[in-house]
Amino acid sequence: MHLTILGCGTILQQGTSANCSGYLLDHNLLFDCGPGIWKALYQHKISIGHLNNIFLTHFHVDHTSDLGPLLLNRLLYSNLKEIPLNIIGPPGLREWFSNLKTLLGRWSEDLAINLNEIRNEPYQTADHNITCKYTGHTDNSICYRVEKDGKSFFYSGDTGYSDNVIALATDCQLAVLEASNSDKTHTKEHLTPHLAGKIAARAGVQKLVLTHMYPEVLEGNPAKEASSAFTGEIILAQEGMAIDF
């Protein structure tokens, strides 16, 4: 499998411009589509014609706001307008997308879009098997596990410390876990680097990628904090980073 990190920042302005959540797996599966992801796709020369599956973890703006620009580009490239686009997400996706179309305008009705609300049932593409579980970040937030040819990938989205997350990440080669909060600012809806490390250790993952870190986390030593619970390889997410596993 091949992961490209298109965005790993937060909604807060920081020292350098940071794209929000967007993770491209095997060049054709996009997980979340926050601010900056449309531009990142262009910069990485990723054709939107290859993105036929977009997976949303929840509906907060820092994970979804660039979906509109992506859809408009599919419309303007007339050869893509008729190609079905699968948008996959938690329960509430249809209602959320209906509201989005109202904001976007009538042109959004001209696109071939399939909406898939998933709970515990698997979702399959030609090459990948995807499963999900609830994280508890919001009432309907989910995390994803992707399997292909004996390899496995896990993406937490936003989450607190959760047995569901541990169960779905178990034995994954690569796990991307948010680490939004420091120990001083910790809330039950998000992880700290230490808690992300604890989840990785309990799940027995091979590599841990820490992402979605607010400034106070980055001012510390998140890798060291995670290593207090997890002895495997720890990677701090960076925009443009590519990881093969």
Measured between alpha carbons, how far is 79 from 3 in angstroms, rounded to an integer? 27
Residue 222: pLDDT band (50, 70, 90) is very high
Q: Where are the domains of the chain?
A: 2-244
Question: In terms of CATH architecture, what is 2-244?
Answer: 4-Layer Sandwich (3.60)
- pLDDT exceeds 90 at position 55: yes
Q: Which pLDDT tens digit goes with each residue over 174-213? A: 999 999 999 998 999 999 999 999 999 999 999 999 999 9
Q: Which pLDDT tens digit goes with each residue over 128-182? A: 999 999 999 999 999 999 999 999 999 999 999 999 999 999 999 999 999 999 9
Q: Which two tokens stand for residue 126?
A: 């030609």
pLDDT of residue 78: 76
Pairing of strands 174-178, 207-211: parallel
Measured between alpha carbons, how far is 143 from 158 in angstroms, rounded to an integer? 8
Pair 135, 142: CB distance under 8 Å:
yes
Rounded mean pLDDT of the chain?
Answer: 95
- pLDDT exceeds 70 at position 17: no
Q: Which two tokens stand for residue 79?
A: 């050869």
pLDDT of residue 16: 59
**Cα-Cα end-to-end distance for the chain:** 5
pLDDT of residue 47: 87
Residue 15: pLDDT band (50, 70, 90) is low
pLDDT of residue 77: 86
